Amino acid sequence: MAENIPTESESMEIAQGMTYFQETMDKFIGTADVSTVYARPVKQGETIIIPTAEVICGLGFGFGMGHGMGPQQGEGDKGATSQTEDEMVSGSGVGGGGGGYTFSRPVALIVATQDEVRVMPVIDRTKILLAAFTTVGFMVATLMRFTRGSR
């Protein structure tokens, strides 16, 4: 019986894939750097403005390989059982894939003048409104359930 040992070309493909994954992973790890959170300073006369943001980044990779044996093409009628291992053809495949997600949200603006350094927070009203509606909805729903249950 043939063993599931990858051929030379398969090993090359795996190595290439791994290198690619590693490079992408290194870039991903670079997200943890300070430069991703603080943008390049913008000069406006005497004032310097530095926008800041929070960054969330997720990444996942996976790959697999398979190896198998089967009847030769056009001889399927014979049935795999009637063929000896020498008559059968072997095949293999390597595949991989990955996915990622990056999210960034502005947090504050740093305004630096000659005299002072100020931090101006950026307030996301849409997010706050959504959270407020969800909270109120939850409170009303639980109150209704409570009053119904206590009757």
Partner 1 sequence: MSTQLIQINTQAGKPVMAGNTKITPFSQSVRLMVPGKLIGLIYNRPVSLLATSPDGQEQVIAIPDVTRRIQFSLLGIAFAWMMLLIALKFILNRRD
Which residues bind to partner 1, rule: CB under 8 A? 21-22, 25, 28-29, 31-38, 41, 46, 48, 50, 52-62, 98, 105, 107-108, 110, 112-115, 117, 119, 121-124, 127-128, 131-132, 134-135, 138-139, 142-143, 146, 149-150
Those residues whose C-beta lies under 8 Å from the C-beta of residue 105, and which sit 6 or more positions away, are 53, 54, 124
Of 5 and 125, nearer to partner 1 (C-beta) is 125
Q: Quick check: 72 and 86 in contact, CB under 8 A?
A: no
Of 4 and 134, nearer to partner 1 (C-beta) is 134
Nearest distance from C-beta of residue 7 to partner 1, angstroms: 23
Of 82 and 142, nearer to partner 1 (C-beta) is 142
Of 17 and 71, nearer to partner 1 (C-beta) is 17
Nearest distance from C-beta of residue 5 to partner 1, angstroms: 22
